Amino acid sequence: MISTSQAEADLLASVPSGLFIGGEWVDAAGGRTFDVRDPSTNAVVKTIADAGPEDGIRALDAAVAAQEAWAATAPRTRSDLLRRAFDLVRERADDLALLMTLEMGKPLAEARGEVTYGGEFLRWFSEEAVRINGRYGLNPEGTGRMVVSQRPVGPSFFITPWNFPLAMATRKIAPALAAGCTVVIKPAELTPLTTLLFASILQEAGLPAGVVNVITTTASGDVSAPIIADPRLRKMSFTGSTPVGRKLIAQAAEGVLRVSMELGGNAPFVVFEDADLDEAVDGAMAAKFRNIGQACTAANRFIVHADIAEAFAARVTERVAAMRVGRGTEDGVQIGPLIDERAVVKASDLVADAVDRGARVLTGGEAIEGEGTFFAPTVVSDVAPGSAILREEIFGPVLAISTFETEEEAVRLANDTEYGLVSYVFTRDLARGHRMIDRLETGMMGLNVGVLSNAAAPFGGVKQSGVGREGGLEGIHEYLSTKYTLIPVG
């Protein structure tokens, strides 16, 4: 039997360490490298190429060179490639899951769930590739026939975050390839290995040279800026924080680039007095602690009716206090490490501020001493208005409860944020549920559910949470431009 450590070593050895440019694995200019670390131990797991600006332009050169041929490739051929990639991802599910756990820290069971979720974007957009259509018809005056067609936008640049290393890559790459666009992708410095392994899977699936290019780097701004400024680039997609997103939008404006921005969240989780409390607690656990709380869709503000707040707090506290913390590869672990020390400090500071303003810590509330960057799963109740934990995205395993008395107050509290990615509502009143759909200012809403992401659904937000949608019927249109042609009657 192969030991766990040997299995990890063999997997890591199989992951390419170079940049993927023009269908080849190459070193960074000057041979620069950087270390990728396991957040549960801080140990180096692999050393990989560290791209500079010249490498980024090399990758864009390759994408530009491949664009015309890829756009002209038959939709069925593009579809078949994505379907082969989906099948290969399923075959390599255990490897991809373990790799994500090693570089990001999430429990292995959750990593397996991400492989399933991420793979679905490949399957979904393999099906959408052959359904790109337009329209044809006589104009109202009867003088000509209108042809409306869809064309690929062109070379696209993707910047992905560290928290969902596979799904964020497939959610962007799959629709781009389905539409006929070529890609340069820059994964997060903290979790680049999954993208490298996925690129090798695409290569095995028959990806033509230059259609997808991967650049890993510790100098994100320096590498990204010349790519974004290059007039050959036509599309940029970014998932990450709102402050960084604003800067990227400003850079993209110079070239009038098409942009998709999936930015920060501050999700309200509203529990009305008539809610099924068991459902609400189950939903809370999923919405808050999935991915160790490190998700833009994570519930951030638990807004609970005063009549049931004590019972809700007691039930979630019992569940949270029993959660097992540890390295994600260990059996039964539910909470892995936070991504780095800065995340631990942020969670600690937010809890301390809430307590200073009168909140009570019901369980957890502090960093766990020892190896790795762990923070105890936490419940904080009686959170006062004005607390930083209600304004800032926590991105950690901290459940913060405040209360309301009326529906109007619940709506006001839920909408009292610059963000608008997702909201969660628990109520048995169908009419109230429909009112919340209309009144809550978010791009997505879970009604009596705590997890709502699906490859067949449009993912995205409003206000400072971004522009554009990923997934669903809408996702492929982010990579298509509309062309209108008039043919005279005669």
Q: Could you list the active site residues?
A: 262, 296
Bridge partners of residue 137, in order along the sequence: 146
Q: 75 Cβ partners below 8 Å, 6+ apart?
A: 129, 130, 132, 178
Tokens of 200: 């090798």
Say which residue the tokens 């999936």 belong to. Answer: 262
Compute the radius of gyration of the chain from its Cα atoms: 23
Q: Give the C-alpha separation, 55 to 131, whole Å.
A: 35
> Residue 474 — φ and ψ, nearest 5°?
-75, -25
Bridge partners of residue 235, in order along the sequence: 156, 258
Contact 389, 350 (CB under 8 A): yes
Q: Give the C-alpha separation, 212 to 156, whole Å.
A: 10
Q: Which residue type sits at 349?
A: D
